[in-house]
Structure 1
Amino acid sequence: MPVFAVNYVYGPDTDTRMESRPAHRAWQAELHEAGTVLASGPLDNEPVPGGLLLLQAADRVEIERLLATDPYASIGVIDETIIREWTPVFGPFSQS
């Protein structure tokens, strides 16, 4: 199953994002338990705050559908979402 690297770039409304963080993390935990989220976590604030998610799904359309259910998406704290299919060659996510 394809693996996708998703990079979130967060907007300036840190207060709203922090208030919604428990729901965002619960959403991730549910997807992790289902085997969809392989790893996730915040990126440092330089040059801008963001997050990185490694997800597996059948295709990009499925990734986009899942990301639309992220509580952060519904409150508008994500300024940009970059989705790239990733082929892990070494490490725990490699498919060899």
Structure 2
Amino acid sequence: MPVFAVTYVYGPDTETRMEHRPAHRQWQAEQNAAGVILASGPLDETPQPGGLLIVSAEDPDAVAQLLTGDPYHRIGVIEATHIREWTPVYGPFAQG
């Protein structure tokens, strides 16, 4: 199955984002347990806070649909989302 690198750029409402972080992380944990989100975590705050998700899905549309379930998406604290197919050559996500 294809692998995608998803980057989030968070908006300026840090207070709301932090308030909903436990639900965001719980959603990620559930997707990880299901084998959909392979890895995730925050990106450096410079120049703007964001996150990186490595996702296994059929196509970019399936990734976009998955992301609508993220509590951060529902509350509107994500300023931009970038979905790019990624071909891991080495490491745990490499596909033979």
Same fold (TM over 0.5): yes
Task: Report the 3-state secondary structure (helix = DSSP H, G, I; strand = E; otherwise coil) of the residue aligned with 2:20.
Answer: helix
| Counterpart residue number, 1:37 | 37
Q: Whole-Å Cα distance in 1 between the matches of residues 25 and 12 of structure 2?
A: 19
Q: Whole-Å Cα distance in 1 between the matches of residues 20 and 55 of structure 2?
A: 21
Q: Whole-Å Cα distance in 1 between the matches of residues 38 and 6 of structure 2?
A: 11
1:20 aligns with 2:20: yes
Q: 1:42 Cα shift?
A: 0.2
- Where do 4+ consecutive residues of structure 1 move more than 3 Å? none
1:51 aligns with 2:66: no
| Counterpart residue number, 1:87 | 87
Give unpaired runs (5+ residues) of structure 1.
Answer: none
| Aligned amino acid, residue 93 of structure 1 | F
Task: Report the 3-state secondary structure (helix = DSSP H, G, I; strand = E; otherwise coil) of the residue aligned with 1:9.
Answer: strand
Q: 1:61 Cα shift?
A: 1.1
TM-score by length of 1: 0.98
| Aligned amino acid, residue 82 of structure 2 | I
Q: Whole-Å Cα distance in 1 between the matches of residues 74 and 33 of structure 2?
A: 22
Percent identity between the two aligned chains:
67
Give unpaired runs (5+ residues) of structure 2.
Answer: none
1:68 aligns with 2:58: no
Q: 1:30 Cα shift?
A: 0.4
Q: 1:59 Cα shift?
A: 1.1
Aligned length: 96
TM-score by length of 2: 0.98
- Give per-residue Cα distances to partners, 1:22-64, cap 9 Å, x unaligned: 0000000000000001100000110110000000011111101
